Amino acid sequence: MQDDNTEDQSSPGLDLSAEIGDDGVKLKSSTPAVADDVLPDSLYLIPVPQRPFFPGQVQPVAMDPDEWGGTIKAVTEATNGVVGLAYVDRSQLGGRDPEPRNFPEMGCVVRLHRPPMMSENPGQFLAQGVRRFRIVRWLSDKPPYRVQVEYPRSQGDRDSDDVKAYAMAVLQAVKELLPLNPLYSEELRYYITNFNPNQPSLLADFSAALTTANGDQLQEILETLPLQSRMQKVLTLLGKEREVAELRGKITDQVNEKVTDQQREFFLREQMKVIQKELGLSKDDRTSDAERFEARLEALVLPDSVRERIDDELQKLSVLEPGSPEYGVTRNYLDWATQVPWGLTSEDNLDLKHAATVLDQDHDGLDDVKDRILEFLAVGSFKGEIAGSILLLVGPPGVGKTSIGRSVANALGREFYRFSLGGMRDEAEIKGHRRTYVGAMPGKFVQALKEVKVANPVIMLDEIDKIGASFQGDPASALLEALDPEQNSEFLDHYLDLRVDLSKVLFICTANQLDTIPGPLLDRMETLRLSGYVAEEKLAIARNHLWPKQLERHGLAYDQLKINDPALKYVIESYCREAGVRNLEKQLSRIMRKSIVEFVKGRTTKRRNAKSDASREKRRIGKRDIDDLLGQPLFQPEKPQRGIGVATGLAWTAMGGVTLPVESSRVHTLNRGFKLTGRLGDVMRESADIAYSFVISHLKDYRCDLDFFDTSMVHLHVPEGATPKDGPSAGITIATALVSLARKERIKRPLAMTGELTLTGQVLPVGGIREKVIAARRAKIMELILPHANRRDFEELPDYLREGINVHFARHFRDVFETVFEDHRRGKPLH
């Protein structure tokens, strides 16, 4: 067997011109070759971090001059000028200096060309690989490292057929890489120029160094001495390199193909624009924009000031470059300004019969609100137009405020636009942003006019009582101009900076309460109160509107699921006692979902039993089915509380009217005192103190025990203590409860009352009479005591609310006392 001695002699010098022979390479440069007998037994050692160095390589090596400067200096001072390079993965050392145990056994001895002290870059030198070395013994385990080495030879016959076959396979694999990366061809040209292709050891090392394999894989190649095994491993690396190169080439081709298609489309599109422009078939963007805006203006009736401003902007647009930022700002401005319906109005339908029909079809109940809306429309019909009107619908949630606004729009034949003011904190939402801001837009009113395309729509402002304020401004104050009939004919939007006429818009606002609406804003609106529904009205709404709506929403036929009136009435009285009908709609939807589940189960069972399809199965829901569908009732039938020291009052809340029982009790007779509970507000506590003082000072007038309060600790409580309560209207109720306690006489019949009491016994008027009457009817209390000053409020109520109610009007608490405790004062209803 013949050893391959190609590593025994040096590789070529820097000029890369050499005589290549079978036994090695001899340099023609002035630097003599390093022969076997010249290679030293000991070497200085420098670690290389990225990948190992191979014999035959000539490339720069980077290093830290502060760390390895001493080693390089010692090498250059030696006559041979060689140093050992060994691969060490510095990333696994955590920043520590390498130790002898971190160095591999095998490395490559290199000759230094252009040492760092002779180079412009002290951290880099040019190395020429000579041959492999194996560390025998460490002579210095601290920098500069020095080791005793030996130089192993490659094992195998380079002239054997197997080695030649492997060499040809390696060359073929390298050639396959050439089309995939031009850098490979440069490396191969260097190899053919400087080495003998019949040197398999150098061919294997060159091919391994050609790949992008990691350092550990290349170190394994460096440590493999048998030629055949080394070439097998090199072929594996070349195969992986080819796969990676092919994949990279495919990705590059795909990207280039997409870019090329986009560029091609862009150039063709630009060429088409130029050709069309030359032939007069099309215009540039600036001309087409200007003509489009002019076409819009032809259908509008512009005020002189608006026309002048738009003409100025069009002139500016004609001199701006389409690519400039100012062009985009001007174009957007003209786009908005030309889409405002200047002077375009729709014709109102002022037929009162038609309006009444639409309101009755859309709503049951609310007769007083319907009458007020018809009065409003009648004035518009008499005048010939409806303009400068702002309506405010106030009522509990779910009573139909938003739907009434839509019905008014349908009755008039106007376009309808709705937006909510709840939580709005930026006044720019109302009046628009200045054009100088990025992303500036007009306010909501201009946006509404653009969408409806007429200048006289119905605009609904929902939840006006929930509008907010912040550092960005006060939207409620910004609404003052828009909702003032004396000002909104010249409403100024900050974005357009033009006067927009809002006087022909019918504004309808909604709110749950008036307390949170600023006074100046409330003063500009006409208030209509929606007090809520009694049980009979809820029944009609459920039958005529809610139930058909839910049938359609759930995909049920009209005759597929039916519910009778007793069941609906039971749902209303036991599950939905609130003023509105929103919760009633939820409960009806729940009934339908439960019923559909039964339909689906029945259909599945019938299909399993091979019977007919159950898609048309019908079901009838009665009162007895409600508990199974909705669970236990939320409200049990309640009778007014009766007993000594108990009186029933009437109160108004944002959710509607409610009954308010007041309880008083004598706790002990050890001392005198008065205690209040039930989460009462300041005003209601003052009313209780006034009633207590009034009753104590008039015990004789009302035939009470004169010493009762002197030795009594009295506790007065208003149930549902978790609910806040405030207001003066419980004054006569509290006084009645205290008189009942002092007389030891209970109220013998269902009776409810409301009214403010003064220290002199006067009964003052209170608000919310409609809501309180509805609450009394809901609780089936048909005898009421109201302040005499509220007689007109009661007489203005619809007949169906007053029917069957016996009302006593009181000017003084004496009238209340005689009504409650003196049988001879019980008379007939006063209405």
Report whether 389 contacts 376 (CB < 8 A). Answer: yes
d(CA 74, CA 145): 11
Let me know if 772 is a catalytic residue.
Answer: yes
Number of C-beta neighbours around residue 578 at 10 A:
19
Report whether 7 contacts 201 (CB < 8 A). Answer: yes
Among the listed residues 664, 772, 780, 828, the single catalytic one is 772
Residues 113, 117, 120, 125, Cα dihedral to 10°: 40
- Enter the tokens of residue 576: 């939905």
Supply the DSSP symbol for 4.
B
d(CA 27, CA 110): 15
Report whether 645 contacts 663 (CB < 8 A). Answer: yes
Q: For the chain, how big is the Rg over CA atoms in Å?
A: 49
DSSP line for 302-347:
--HHHHHHHHHHHHHHHHS-TTSHHHHHHHHHHHHHTTS-TT--PP
Residue 144, preceding peptide bond in cis (omega within 30° of 0): yes
- Kindly give the pairing relationship between strand 145-150 and strand 389-394: unpaired
Report whether 409 contacts 359 (CB < 8 A). Answer: no
SS3 89: coil
Q: Which residues pair with 113 in a beta bridge?
A: 126
Beta strands in 340-448 (DSSP E): 389-394, 416-420
CA 730 to chain CA centroid, nearest Å: 46
Number of C-beta neighbours around residue 629 at 10 A:
17
For 753, phi and psi rounded to 5 degrees? Answer: -150, 160
- Enter the tokens of residue 557: 């036929």
Residues 6+ apart with CB under 8 A from 230: 154, 201, 204, 221, 224
SS3 per-residue string spanning 154-176: EECCCCCHHHHHHHHHHHHHHHH
Let me know if 30 is a catalytic residue.
Answer: no
- Alpha-helical segments (H) within 581-658: 582-608, 623-630
d(CA 128, CA 194): 13
Residues 6+ apart with CB under 8 A from 405: 393, 416, 418, 458, 460, 508, 510
Among the listed residues 574, 664, 729, 740, the single catalytic one is 729
Q: Which residue in 43, 16, 44 sits closest to 29, CA to CA? A: 16
d(CA 577, CA 201): 98
Residue/partner pairs of 471-477 with CB below 8 Å, 24 or more apart? 472/425, 472/426, 472/427, 472/428, 473/425, 473/426, 473/427, 473/428, 474/427, 475/421, 475/424, 475/425, 475/426, 475/427, 475/429, 475/430, 476/517, 476/518, 476/521, 477/427, 477/518
Q: Give catalytic residue positions.
A: 729, 772
